[in-house]
Amino acid sequence: MSNPQVYLASNSPRRRELLAQIGVVPRVIAVSLDETPLSGEAADDYVRRVALEKARAGLDLVAGRAPKLPVLGADTAVVVGERVLGKPRDREDALAMLRLLSGRSHRVLSAVALVGSEEALALSESQVRFRAISAAEARAYWETGEPADKAGGYAIQGLGALFVEHLSGSYSGVMGLPLFETAALLGAAGVRLLAGHPLPQETTR
């Protein structure tokens, strides 16, 4: 097995899979923090703050541990207007989210933070439009179990793709880790990508 290149402050299997897609081997560390939005906090500020707090919390956990690697943190939010939709609390909350998303566009904000000797942060914003979703479809989708632990109550990489009429932006960002921004941060930090070659510096602009 390859040596780890970065700590990932997330238990999300989707984020591990996305990192593997660009050839990055993470060592997963579990962090726990309050992800409640602050009063009056803008959605983009919220996801940036949480991603950075996850990475900082992860760095605290691995302080003094070998190997000495940067810590990657990420946060994704589905946003309607300025309302942030987190993971549904229960069936009724998930169905309410799907009703809200049905037949309209929403934003998906995905922030990624890399913390080590320095801190770096990037934000991806995507626009997703859903077709109309019937009440029966929403109930059937909930019964699959897929929406239960997903921001906004859907997974674009799963059955939730049935509802997506249009996507403008980053597919991987909607999944939970924007690969363009992530690769740029990692490459700038010297993490070896593309068969062992750091990404050119111009990709970080």
Q: Which residues are catalytic?
A: 75
CA distance 125 to 118: 24
Indicate if the alpha-carbon torsion angle 21, 23, 24, 30 is positive or negative: positive
What kind and span of H or E run contains 122? strand 119-130
Q: How many Å is the Cα radius of gyration of the chain?
A: 17
What kind and span of H or E run contains 139? helix 135-143
Provide CB contacts within 8 A for 169, sequence distance 6+.
108, 124, 125, 126, 127, 128
Place of tokens 């923090």: 33
